[in-house]
Chains A and B, each alone.
Chain A
């Protein structure tokens, strides 16, 4: 008998289990199915830094949250409507995030006395009333998986490991997801291990069939495709979009990409991705340390490549010395800092926005550097292209501040046409520019203040550069006081001049009479946008703007700020942008700061914004 299908406009699902349970893969597959179905979506993977924390413990819980809808959404969602808990630890770690009425699907096979005790449950939460008020579907996912695989010649352990595919099959049935993508994914992933492939396919199918036949699930759900702007889409994470943006920047500038990098969470995936694209002339160099990574990138830039280095906070501090040299030698360099919770090692897999002031001011001397920040996973692509543009055209290191949430989170991305991407002109120097055929390596372009970039191999333009202060035109060593003052100001003026190439700050203010502005930067765009929408839905009038350029700011930022009675600045730090805005524009912005290693919740931000609107 066909089951009832209920229409929903959006759902938030969280898959949670042990680090070894394959929850990230499960979430990723469900995401791909959802993307190919055409829903809008946003994801939030959340996992421990340890590769395999002790099994069954709270620190070992790994989860993957997915928000999908038939309309435009911008965050992975505040609170899950559905929790899939593969063991007691996953239940305990996530229960607090669930609103009453949420659906909980638990794998009862793991609810043994021993497993319960491991996480401090004195009695079984499935029966002791802990889950009152939730819709609980309790099923032996592991045992059903093993039972479904009896005909396949694999060990019991391998059979049990397929339980994540059983869960995926069940959820795919519940939400009417297309399954072809997962089937072909499994076929290619396990092409060389036919028995494991058979097990995973059988488990996936068994999970689907279980949903269809069991009376536990009377209803399945349908979320219609979202009405997104027309175009071709794919789902993309921030790190992948960053890697593609860098390759696009390389192509659009005609400069071969050289990545010098050292593995670090959560940035390593950019290194992994770029190392696969040798056909694009991409050279990747896994250096002995963070310092050598950026050093090699700068050396490659000196030779006429697009030098890039990728890292996270603990590596960023080490790279600042070489960034300073790039400021002084005025060579292009793109530095991607995928921010994570600090200080020091902090929480490697958790997100934060705490490197802004380090990016701007964390070097010795007056050392101005353009800083850009993407606002969503897909926006990492455009922001990386912009970083390349600034680096190449202004001969400067550029810092791109991504973060752990953007890096691993994903969303649909409308593919750009390559021809619509900006062209970037490296404008290599090929001829002498000084008197008597001499070459003056610091004689600047009047418009951009960029110096000529003459690469080794160019006859007649041999010159020496370095970290010592240099004469304003010849580039020769100079300790003359007035020359140093001139050079300090000129380096600053060059970065300031970038603002002339930036579009005016986009401000969203549908009613046109908002008195409160919410201003954010970087990875908080989704949370802030969702919060602003909530406020507006309930009749609140609020304007919103989001900064991609943190240095220099858009030229009209000060004027925008002064247009509003109050400006709220939410940041996942203790007020770094707020400090800059107050210092720069003397506007007493209202900071909202939480540093929990997680994105803001939209509901929380909405109440903050509403509270500011209601002041008077």
Chain B
């Protein structure tokens, strides 16, 4: 860490809003480096795990937030990805399976001066914790939820997960899994999340840009990160990483830009409000949809999220939706401030003596 010559190590500058998403979080003039966010704990993921890349990207991204380290809190559930908080030198809680969004909600709602991040996985966030996830998104609490999707249970050694493809042969599904998988982005949009994005563990620059956009968003942000599990589900995302195929499959969304898929194809309006991929030469350049992440109606973003079927045919990455909605914790704290402004701070003696009283001499 570099000391700021003009102030104490944690001399907050007093002004806020280094990031619009964290309006009530103090900023700092302290200039952090990546190593300032590394904890002293030995990282214990398997060699080759995608989590390493995400951790490195995150540690290098945090200094750019301009937020005092002590005002950053990581909350995780249970699973491989949920070990994440141990490896960062911020405050952190490695909680219980699926409950991180609920715990983070209480923390964020009571402490608007904190930057709160939830780290979860496809099992933690979509299976046991699915309910908490959708409600946190619906409420729009000011937390950033990073869902590491490796489409398998890792820590319990290789059972199919709620994002595994149907028919997946695993230890618990020797004849092939029967479950239809969730599309996490579709699910988040169904809950009307204000910020929904997808990125990939191996693309550091894209990952970092999405993290930044998530942090800048006031209210709940949801980021699905495709993450490779080399042990139990290796190469699950290979079609999106393999140089010969990735550009034909990855649809890189940029707000205001036409949605193009490789050199020849792009996204156009389809039937019943849906979207489809078409040959640009056939339909003409001007029929291509210009990406609008700020559309109020989540229907468009939802249609985008359906383009990946079947099996990674076209996979949009980037920000699907970035829309401002009333933020739960801001409203909650406003109610308290309003009550105090109107009636003054509570007087306990008067409260207890409220109602009909009588005196015994």
Contacts and interface: CB of A to CB of B under 8 A. Distances in A.
A392 to B, nearest CB: 15
Nearest to A32: B356
Contacts of A300: 106-107, 109-111
Interface string B71-89: 1111110100000011011
A457 B99 contact: no
Interface string B220-251: 00000000000000000000000000000000
Nearest to B111: A303
Given A287-B105, A289-B131, A321-B99, 11 more contacts: A228-B360, A232-B357, A251-B348, A277-B346, A295-B99, A303-B106, A304-B111, A305-B110, A322-B96, A456-B70, A459-B68
28 contacts: A32-B356, A35-B356, A229-B360, A231-B360, A232-B353, A234-B358, A244-B352, A247-B348, A247-B351, A260-B102, A260-B106, A277-B351, A278-B338, A282-B336, A288-B132, A288-B135, A291-B132, A292-B131, A298-B106, A303-B106, A303-B107, A456-B107, A456-B111, A457-B114, A459-B68, A462-B90, A464-B86, A476-B41
Interface string B119-144: 00000000000011001000000000
SS of B interface (majority): mixed
Most B CB atoms within 10 A — which of A232, A466, A467? A466
B113 interface: yes
Contacts of A32: 356
Contacts of A476: 41
Contact of B105 (A225, A244, A299): A299
A279 B343 contact: yes
B143 to A, nearest CB: 10
A120 B72 CA distance: 68
Contact of A244 (B86, B131, B336, B351): B351
A293 B71 CA distance: 24
B95 interface: yes
A610 interface: no
A483 to B, nearest CB: 16
Ordered nearest first, which 6 A-B pairs have the shortest CB separation?
A466-B94, A296-B106, A299-B106, A295-B102, A280-B346, A292-B102
Contacts of B348: 247-248, 251, 280, 418
A18 B358 CA distance: 32
A550 B340 CA distance: 38
B349 interface: yes
Contacts, number: 221
SS of A interface (majority): mixed
A415 interface: yes
B317 interface: no
B346 A279 contact: yes
Contacts of A522: none
Contact of B352 (A303, A304, A418, A456): A418
A318 to B, nearest CB: 11
A291 B102 CA distance: 8
Contacts of B349: 417-418
A228 to B, nearest CB: 5
A251 B345 CA distance: 11
Contacts of B78: 467
B255 interface: no
B242 to A, nearest CB: 37
A209 to B, nearest CB: 24
Interface in A460-507: 460-468, 476-477
Interface of B: 9-10, 39, 41, 68-76, 78, 85-86, 88-96, 99, 101-111, 113-114, 131-132, 135, 332-333, 335-336, 338-340, 343-346, 348-349, 351-361
Contacts of A248: 348, 352
A374 interface: no
Contacts of A229: 360
A187 interface: no
Contacts of B358: 35-38, 232-234
A458 B10 CA distance: 10
B70 A458 contact: yes
A458 B69 CA distance: 10
A172 interface: no
Contacts of A510: none
Given A233-B360, A295-B99, A459-B9, A415 B352 contact: yes
A464 B357 contact: no
Contacts of B94: 464-468
A279 B340 contact: yes
Most B CB atoms within 10 A — which of A281, A301, A458, A464? A464
Contacts of A231: 359-360
B100 to A, nearest CB: 8
Nearest to A421: B348
B91 to A, nearest CB: 4
B336 A462 contact: no
A281 B346 contact: yes
A302 B105 CA distance: 12
B105 A285 contact: yes
B65 to A, nearest CB: 15
Contacts of A42: none
B332 A283 contact: yes
A324 B97 CA distance: 12
B99 A322 contact: yes
B95 A325 contact: yes
A230 interface: yes
A464 B103 CA distance: 14
Most B CB atoms within 10 A — which of A260, A321, A457? A457
A235 to B, nearest CB: 7
Nearest to B108: A299
A417 B92 CA distance: 40
Interface in A266-287: 277-283, 285, 287
Contacts of B353: 232, 234, 415
A296 B359 contact: no
A95 B132 CA distance: 49
Contacts of A458: 70
A532 to B, nearest CB: 25
Contacts of B75: 299
Contacts of B111: 300, 303-305, 456-457
Contact of B73 (A293, A322, A456): A456
A291 B107 CA distance: 15
A235 B356 contact: yes
B71 A457 contact: yes
A305 B354 CA distance: 26
A303 B103 contact: no
A258 B332 CA distance: 11
Contacts of B113: 457
Most A CB atoms within 10 A — which of B90, B109, B110, B114? B110
A181 interface: yes
Most A CB atoms within 10 A — which of B39, B88, B95, B339? B95
Contacts of A22: none
B339 A302 contact: no
